[in-house]
Structure formats: structure tokens, C-alpha cells
Chain A
């Protein structure tokens, strides 16, 4: 939603956020409330089907941020979340249900999973959802708050149903990510798999000049699976060397654009990357 006159805007900062927590605490509902401003009544919503991730753009502190927010796809039910789910996340939204003591008591296990898969610098927020069910509350606010503090996390109570606290939960995470440059400006080498996704992150870690690295992250959907189409792809190996060189230049250019300056442009939303490339 930038003004059209703004011809050369700064590229948006890519942010990957994850939702985790027990089944039925309202992770998908929070996501839908935040990104689509929707609420599914309880009898219509079931265990997560069909929510993969949502892309959401926002302006925060004068910066354009492109959030991709990932849902568990129901894989939390039997604790089979894939390790690949956690790759490249900069922010984690841990959700429990204030009317379910069990969902709160499960949090230490979720935190220990985070310890395994993401770096300690990743921003975490603990969200006590369903405050609209005040009458059946089982976890006092103060208890949630104290626990979050102990786990070095932000804390908020929210209701996906009434929208209370939802926007704040997401913006607070992003806010703190923006205050933690190592999460997006360059990747932290100490963090294990929790570093920024993709080739650009690797480039940053290697301290290379970035950009001109044809060996870096590749967007497989770049040519949309159309094996006959797409710039370089359509150049058979036996065309004259000069033409091939031209094609390669084009390719390098596309890759440079695709990789961009933001560390986590890879693996988040390749179709968008593709669009960017095409537009350019």
C-alpha cells in the first residue's frame, strides 16, 4: 500500500513467524483473525485443515515488513511437527487456552522443542487465548505472565473471537524482531538451524558480497514448472556460446533480484519472489 509515487521503495523485510501450542487452543483462529479478520464459530472449526501459511504486510516503525505466518497443519496433535517447520523462523507465537490448564501445563514441552530447533535469539511471545471465556478461566493472568517472564518471552492475553489483543500480539513480535538486527540483517552463526532461511542467509554467514552467487538459494517455481518456458531454461545447451552467455546474464540478474537483500526471502513465499523477478 505504498504510495505509487514512491518509485524505489526499500525492499520489505521478510519475517517468518510460527504458531505452536496444543491442539484446540486457537492457533488457526488467531491467524485467521489477524490476517483475514475472520472468526469461525466453534462448531464450524475443527482440527486444522487447509491452513498452510498466510502472508501479511504491515508497516512498523517506518519499515515495510512482509510477514509469513505459518500454522502447524494439525501436526501438533500427536507432536509430530516437522523439524523443517522451524527452519528460518524469526518469531514464535506460543499459544495456550486460558480456560484449559492442560494447554498451559504443556508449554514447557513446547519450549523444549524450541530449544532443539531454533536459536535463542528468536523472539517468542506467549499468548493466552480465549479471554472471552473469562467465566471458565483456569489460568490466571499473573501466572501466565510470570511464566512468560521466566521463559524470556513476551506475554499477552487475547481472544481470536472478540479480536482483543490479536493485532497487538503479532505487532509486538515483529517489533522486537526489528529490534534484534541479528535476526534479519545478518544471521547469527551461533543459532543452529534457527538462522535465516535460504541462500541469502548462507551468503551473509560466509561474508560474501552477496548477490552474485549462482550457487545460492534457488526458487524452484521460478519457471512455474513450465519446462518449455522460462528464460534460461529454454536455452538448450547446444546454442552458440554467446547466446548462452546472454541467457546466463539474465539468469544471474534474476537470481540476484530473487535473493534480494533481505535474508529470509528464500523459502518463505517463492511465488512472490517470482513475481518480483518478473516485475523487475
Chain B
């Protein structure tokens, strides 16, 4: 076969596209993976501080309100810091559930071995400036919590048992599937406001109090079941910025299976199989015509049978004929968020009087200073908890320190994220003014912040807009015809920290399945020879015989 012909060309190296590339390469398809950015990860990249500043400057001139532009109201303060290259700052800060599609893919694909992971040490809920409450995420936490009355403990326990089990057919839920979650907690379990808030925002990760009950319960169950797999916390944090690093791991795996990687080249043209003048008849699916992709500063054009693209990378000329893979199990595919990245040089303290810490079950154990000023922690701000903040949506602050390998010693990155729902913020309000109240609230937990207010060394604010408009592929597109489409667009990911990773893995699997069904039908004769038949998303990982360790 020709060196420049591929079964698939994938545009964009975001996590979804990278997982898809690895899966297609592993079963034997010939993949070329292209990104116009000079770095891996596209919009999920992890960047060093100098790269981040360049990224921000590039987007700083974007108009503040536009449906077409993803990043708006981009502003950063501060200049270059020392050791800029030692930062690994994520454009998509997110947490990995210990049980779920992403973890399964990491382990089954072998990509887990490329990177490091650690547990999220703390989750706290914001009460008021300077005051946090820790989240009792397990039975023993509830037992030991001295602020919960006995009767509330019983109720909370009953709820946790319910939510961890098979609640689908239980009477408590019947008829209440769509009830706002906080009402459900009140109606079915008589839980008080405090417990409602903790469950709604830190176990179920609802954005608003009115999110419906059944999906919220499913998220609580995922949270509870994730606790314990790798340690007490439900969440893992990826080293070196998480998403971007993990995307690179999948790209490497794809490359090991023969995928070709091309970054930092502009796509000059991507011409569809049928010539432009011949319009009317829909071409037969078995057509031998292929796409031709011409790249800037690249020796020869590439050809392929199938194009897979992220929304961002999709050339305009292909948007009409493209098949948009619908998001599946992606809770918030089109939600826009306000984001802030702040770099600080003092730890935040998470001590909360006599309350048990989130991760801590063993009272007899020696105190762990890590837990008081952790390297990987999250603060959840329920709606209306922060003065000047959102009345309708909950926000999160994720703290990453040196132990996540994403900062130099003695520095921490604070990621703030607020979903833009409820229409409270006018479109001409800047991202900075939307998030300032949250930043101040988070910084109030800096060690000695009362005596000596904590000032960030660097801040970046921006809106990340996810358009809810899905271009219609063609007026009479039917689901049956989807497998004939030779341009697939990956589903939008979920920008929320708790959802991003699993949504990306789920989206990748859907894309992989659509792609392989197209490729199989297109060239069944070669496909059966060269492509491994498998029903599972990942073929079994080959165990290296050398792995026996004679030394032990």
C-alpha cells in the first residue's frame, strides 16, 4: 500500500480524538493524526506557563460575545514567572473517577503505564469566606462527623446505602425521577439543607439545585463506588496537567501501532472525494474515491477514505456532508464555562475544626500535614454561597501542587470553573469580573491569609463557549445513512471537571464504532485480512514474556 494513503485521517489531538486514534490503530487501521497546533491535546492541552501566555495572547483579541468563537474575554495578569517550563497547566482541568470509562480505557489500552496518577486528597464545600466544611463521602466519615445530629446521621446513612445500591426500582425513586434533586432528598429522605447541599454539589456534582434526580443519583452512585478502588478518594488526578498528558499517552500508543503524527501544520486543502462540479446524485458508498489532504510545509499530500474531526478542526467545506456523532452519556455537552487559572506561592489550608477530613478514616494515625495543605484538592462553591457569585450554578476550585508534577516546588495552580447557566451574567461582563469573587473566596484559605492576604503571582481569566448549535448534516439525514458518511465529527466533550474524562472516553468509543463500521463496509475484503476482529473497545494487551521478575 501507498505510504501516503491512510484508512483514516483524524484532525485534532484532543482527548476524544486521541483515544479514537489509539483504538483504530490498535485493531490495524492505518491512521494519520493531524493537529494544526504545534502541541498535542488541542483544546485539552497541558501547557507550560510560557505556552499558556502565548495561547492567551493569541485569544486576547477575540470579541467578548460571539457564538462562533470558543474562547472569549481572555485576559491575563502578570508576566513570566521563573521556571515557566516546569508548569504543566491544563486547558481542561478535570478529575478522573476511579471507576469509569476513562480508567477502563487507560488500563485496557496500556496507556496507564505512560503516566503517573495520584489521589485527590480533599474535597471541601465552601460555607463562607474562611470557612470550609469537609465532605462526608463514606459511612465512617458520617459516623465520625461530630456536627451531624444522630437523627441526621441515620438519614444520611440511609441515603448513602440507597444511592450506592440498585435504586432504579426502589419506591423512594418511583415517580420522582425528574424531580429537582434537592426536593427529592427532602421528600424521600427528609435530609436537611446542609446535607442536601453536600450531596447535591459534592457527591452528585449537580450544577443547579434543580438538576433532575435520577441522573444525579447515578452520579452519586458512581462517586460512592469509585471510592476505594485505588484508595479512599473517588477521584484521581493525572500528573503533569492531566488531560493533555493522557491524550499524549493515547497518541503514543497509536504511534506504536503505526499511526503517523503530524503537528503544527496548516491544512491548506481537504478535498472531498466527489469533484466539486458534480453535485446532484449522492455518491455510492463503495466509491473508491478518497479525500486528499494538503498540508503546509509538508512534502506530499495525504489521502484517506475517512475523515474524523473535532468540531474545532473541521474544515468549513466539509461541514455540510459531515455526520455529527451525538453525545451519549455526556451530561453537559454544550455548557459554557468561565475559567480562571491562578498561580499562588502559598498553600491553601483545608483544616476544618473538628470535622473529619474527607480522606481520613484512621483517627489513631499520625496527623498528615498533607491533608491540611494538600497538593491535590477541590473546593465546591454551591450556588449563592459566594457574594457576587452565581445564584444558580455551583462552581469548583481545583488546587494542584508540586505533588501533581505540574508546578515547581512551592507553587500551586488554582483552577476555577463556573458553568454559565441561569442568565445572571450579562454577555458584556468580563470573565474576570465574573470569577473574581470566587478567586477571592478561594484565596481566603491561604495560610496566614488573614494577616497577610494571598496575592496570586499570575492570573488568567476566560470564557470557554460551547455552542449548542449542531450544524445539521443534511436536511434529510437519517440515522441509517450515518455509516455511509465518510466525515465523522466527534461529539462535544463535557467541560465540567467531574465529567470531562469519562465523557471523552465514551465519545471516543462511539466515534471508534462509527468509524470501524464505515471502514469495514467500505473495504470488507482487506479489512478482514488486516484488521483484528474485536467486539471490545480495546484488544487484549499483550503481556511481555520478559515481565517475569527473576530478582524477586
Give me the interface of A with B, judged by CB distance under 8 Å.
Answer: 1-2, 9, 12, 49-52, 54-55, 57, 64, 66, 73-75, 77-78, 80, 82-85, 87, 116, 189, 192-193, 197-199, 202, 205-206, 208, 213-225, 227, 230, 232-233, 235-238, 241, 244-245, 247-248, 251, 255, 266-272, 275-276, 279-280
Is residue B55 within 8 Å, beta carbon to beta carbon, of the partner chain? no
B503 touches A (CB below 8 Å): no
Q: Report how far A224 CA is from B408 CA in the complex, Å.
A: 33
Query: Could you write out 30 A-B pairs with CB less than 8 Å apart?
Result: A1-B550, A49-B258, A54-B546, A55-B544, A78-B262, A80-B40, A80-B263, A84-B114, A84-B248, A85-B248, A193-B86, A193-B240, A202-B402, A206-B403, A217-B117, A220-B106, A220-B236, A221-B112, A225-B104, A225-B107, A225-B108, A237-B164, A238-B139, A244-B228, A245-B362, A267-B115, A271-B113, A271-B544, A276-B552, A279-B549
Q: Are B252 and A82 in contact (CB under 8 A)?
A: yes
A269→B103 CA distance, assembly (Å): 17
**Given A55-B547, A220-B112, A266-B116, A202 contacting B403 (CB threshold 8 A):** yes
Contact between A270 and B112, CB atoms less than 8 A apart = yes
Per-residue CB proximity of B112-124 to A under 8 Å, as 1/0? 1111111101000
Which chain A residue has the least Cβ–Cβ distance from B114?
A84
Q: Indicate whether B531 reaches chain A with its CB closer than 8 angstroms.
A: no
On whether the beta carbons of B164 and A236 are closer than 8 Å, the reply is yes
Asked if A215 meets B409 with Cβ closer than 8 Å, knowing A193-B86, A220-B106, A244-B140, the reply is: no
Q: Chain B: interface secondary structure?
A: mixed
For A54, A78, A236, A241, the residue with the greatest tally of chain B CB atoms inside 10 Å of its CB is: A78
B168 part of interface (Cβ distance < 8 Å): no
- Which residues of the other chain, A, contact B83 by a CB distance below 8 angstroms? 192
Please measure, in the bound complex, the distance between the C-alpha atom of A232 and the C-alpha atom of B375, giving whole angstroms.
24
Contact present for A237 and B139 (CB under 8 Å): yes
**A218/B256 in contact, CB under 8 A:** no
**Contacting pair A241 B543 (CB below 8 A):** no
Chain A: CB-nearest residue to B299: A78
Closest residue of chain B to A12 (Cβ to Cβ) is B551
Q: Is the CB of B116 within 8 A of A198?
A: yes
Q: Which of B164, B240, B543, B549 has the most CB of A within 10 A?
A: B549
Residue in A closest to B119 when the chains form the complex, CB atoms: A215
| Bound CA–CA A78/B547 (angstroms) | 32
Which residues from chain B sit less than 8 Å from chain A, CB to CB? 39-40, 83, 85-86, 88, 99, 103-104, 106-108, 112-119, 121, 138-140, 143, 160-161, 164, 224-225, 227-232, 236, 239-240, 245, 248-249, 251-253, 255-258, 260-263, 359, 361-362, 370, 374-376, 402-403, 405, 408-409, 543-544, 546-552
Q: How far is the CB of A270 from chain B (nearest CB, A)?
A: 5
A202 to B236, CA, bound (A): 16
Report whether B359 and A214 are in contact in the complex, using a CB–CB cutoff of 8 Å: yes
Which of B106, B107, B258, B361 has the largest count of A CB atoms less than 10 A from its CB? Answer: B107
By a CB distance below 8 angstroms, the chain B residues around A217 are 116-118, 239
Q: How far is the CB of A248 from chain B (nearest CB, A)?
A: 7
CB-defined contacts of B118 to chain A, threshold 8 Å:
199, 202, 215-218
Given A82-B251, A269-B113; 20 other pairs, CB 8 A cutoff:
A54-B546, A66-B551, A77-B261, A80-B40, A84-B248, A87-B239, A197-B116, A205-B409, A206-B403, A214-B119, A214-B231, A220-B106, A220-B107, A220-B230, A221-B107, A221-B112, A221-B113, A237-B228, A272-B547, A275-B547
- How many whole Å from A164's CB to the nearest CB in chain B? 25
- For B227, list chain A residues within 8 Å (CB): 237
Question: Contacts A78-B262, A202-B403, A248-B361: A83 and B228 contacting too (C-beta < 8 A)?
Answer: no
Compute how far the CA of A1 lies from the CA of B546 in the bound complex, rounded to whole angstroms: 13
> Known contacts A74-B258, A225-B108: does B114 contact A232 (CB below 8 Å)?
no
A278 nearest CB neighbor, chain B only: B552
Chain A hits for B231, CB < 8 A: 214-215, 218, 232, 251, 255
B140 to chain A, nearest CB (A): 5
Q: Which residues of A contact B261 (CB under 8 A)?
A: 74-75, 77-78, 80
Contacting residues, chain A, for B116 (C-beta < 8 A): 197-199, 217-218, 266-267
Greatest chain A CB density within 10 A among B121, B164, B230, B547 is at B230
B99 proximity list for chain A (CB < 8 A): 227
Assess the A270–B240 pair: CB atoms within 8 A. Answer: no
